[in-house]
Structure 1
Amino acid sequence: MKKVCIFGGTFNPPHIGHLIMANEVYHALDFDEIRFMPNAKPPHKEATQLATGEQRLHMLELAVEPFSYFTVESLEIVRGGLSYSFDTMMELQKQEPQTQFSFLIGADMIAYLDQWYKIDELVKHIQLIGVRRPGYDDKSAYPVTIIDAPLIDLSSTMLRNRLQQGKDVSLLIPESVQSYIRQEKLYE
């Protein structure tokens, strides 16, 4: 059976923190593939979309290109509307019944698991994988496998602010993604 870990998020923009988290989980748990899946509209965040779903998909494709074990999943962007992990994971399991799915979240999301849509049902179907993040607690009443990874206090919000101010992000966002951001005039 193929082992796939879905890494959901807004990825607005994707950065090296995302890649490091995914890489550490891939190696720690011997996955066949990590799929980055940008959400259409997260139920837990404001409706501000600084980059379109298609632009976020494209940035992810650029970011993961050098890694054969990273791919991008477009399901939530194509489907549109609110992105609930339970609905998405059930749909993926239906499409790929021979795949064992897990779901990767950062420590910032672990604290909010009790607020997730159908979380009690979700954890019966998939394994939740958590990665520590500076300033966040990784304790949960729900079963979450915690993976140690280099702790980098980096967020897309911080990077958007730097980009808006014209500051350098060259060590924090892959060059191919930076080029695309400049080309599309995103986050100005």
Structure 2
Amino acid sequence: MCGMVTADNAIARKIGIMGGTFDPIHFGHLYIAECSRHRFGLEKVIFIPTGDPVHKSRKGITGPARRMEMTALAIRSNPYFDISKIEVDRPGPTYTVDTLNELHGEGTGDRIFFITGADAIMEILTWKDVDRVFRLCEFIAITRPGYSFKEIDQVLSRLTKTQRERIHFHQTGGILISSTDIRQRVLCGAPIKYLVPEKVEEYIKEYRLYLPE
């Protein structure tokens, strides 16, 4: 159940960032962002669609302009949500450390919380400049009821105490929606209503996304 955390830093704003291909963005993404915002007292959550994702194959990924537009349509009714082109505009592979460097380079002094699935923490040690990543942000690691920490504990044991303290596990009820499943449903002619926002559904239909050319 969500509950507000009292801010322990009276000066710095608490900003959430949520990256992903968002191909397409769906209600699962939006639910996690909103519940994280409420639970951790975030002033806003910035959605950052990836440009050239390092950990995913480029094959079949919708162009960044389309993914940006779908994300913008999905979040526009929530005044606490924002969107950034920071990774789309950056040439070359997308690395989290570069995004964090750029955000901090704006000089706002914000306290940044990177919202991600707990499973992503399993790969954290493979991230570029992981030590600097931990210095630049804290993590909100989303889990679902019944999540097993057995494997992730092995990863956590290899982190420093300070790094472990910068990972905040947050259990949500979870909305089991997959972008992969949505794309497959579109391809098969199955409905995606109530899986994505209405405007995103209309956009997918208008531009015939996820269908054979």
Q: Report the Cα distance in structure 2 between the residues aligned to 1:65 and 1:5, rounded to whole angstroms.
A: 16
Q: Report the Cα distance in structure 2 between the residues aligned to 1:161 and 1:96, rounded to whole angstroms.
A: 42
Amino acid at match of 1:45: K
Deviations 1:149-176 (A, max 9, x none): 1222221111111111110110111010
Match of 2:175 in 1: 152
Q: 1:27 to 1:101 in 2, by over 3 A?
A: same
Deviations 1:53-75 (A, max 9, x none): 01101100000011000111110
Match of 1:88 in 2: 99
Determine whether 1:129 maps to 2:140. yes
Q: CA deviation at 1:40?
A: 0.5
Q: CA deviation at 1:133?
A: 4.6
Structure number with larger C-alpha Rg: 2
Q: CA deviation at 1:80?
A: 2.9
Q: Report the Cα distance in structure 1 between the residues aligned to 2:181 and 2:140, rounded to whole angstroms.
A: 24
Q: CA deviation at 1:18?
A: 0.1
Amino acid at match of 1:23: E
Determine whether 1:63 maps to 2:86. no
Aligned residues: 188
Residues 45, 82 of structure 2: 8 Å contact kept: yes
Determine whether 1:186 maps to 2:197. no
Q: Give the match's secondary structure for 2:88.
A: helix
Q: Report the Cα distance in structure 2 between the residues aligned to 1:8 and 1:94, rounded to whole angstroms.
A: 18
**Root mean square deviation, CA, Å:** 1.7
Q: CA deviation at 1:97?
A: 2.9
Q: CA deviation at 1:135?
A: 8.7
Q: Report the Cα distance in structure 1 between the residues aligned to 2:107 and 2:22, rounded to whole angstroms.
A: 24
Match of 1:11 in 2: 22
1:17-36 counterparts in 2 under 5 A? Answer: 17-36=28-47
Residues 145, 171 of structure 2: 8 Å contact kept: no
Residues 108, 133 of structure 1: 8 Å contact kept: no
Q: CA deviation at 1:11?
A: 0.5
Unaligned 5+ runs, structure 1: none
Match of 1:112 in 2: 123
Q: Report the Cα distance in structure 2 between the residues aligned to 1:174 and 1:166, rounded to whole angstroms.
A: 18
TM-score by length of 1: 0.93
Shift >2 Å, 4+ stretches: 133-140
Amino acid at match of 2:129: K
Report sequence identity in percent. 31
Unaligned 5+ runs, structure 2: 1-11
Identify which range, 175-184 or 103-112, moves more after superposition: 103-112
Identify which range, 106-115 or 21-30, moves more after superposition: 106-115
